[in-house]
Amino acid sequence: MKPEEIKRIISESIKGDYDTGKIPEILENEGVSYDFGKGFTEKVIGRLSGISLTMKGDAEFRRSLNFAFYRIALTGAAAIVILLISLFLMQDSFSFNSLLGIGDSVDESIVYLITGF
Find the angle CA(78)-CA(79)-CA(84) to the nearest 5 degrees. Answer: 95
Q: Would you list the domain boundaries of the chain?
A: 1-35
CB atoms within 10 A of CB 6: 15
What pLDDT does 95 receive?
A: 73
- The total number of residues shown for the chain amounts to 117
What pLDDT does 101 receive?
A: 67
What pLDDT does 25 receive?
A: 79
Model pLDDT for residues 32-82, shown as the tens digit of each residue? 776 778 888 888 888 777 665 556 677 788 888 999 999 999 999 999 999
Lowest mean pLDDT, pick from 20-29, 62-71, 90-99: 90-99
Three-class DSSP labels, 6-27: HHHHHHHHHHCCCCHHHHHHHH
pTM of the model: 0.37
What pLDDT does 72 receive?
A: 95
In this model, does residue 26 exceed pLDDT 70?
A: yes
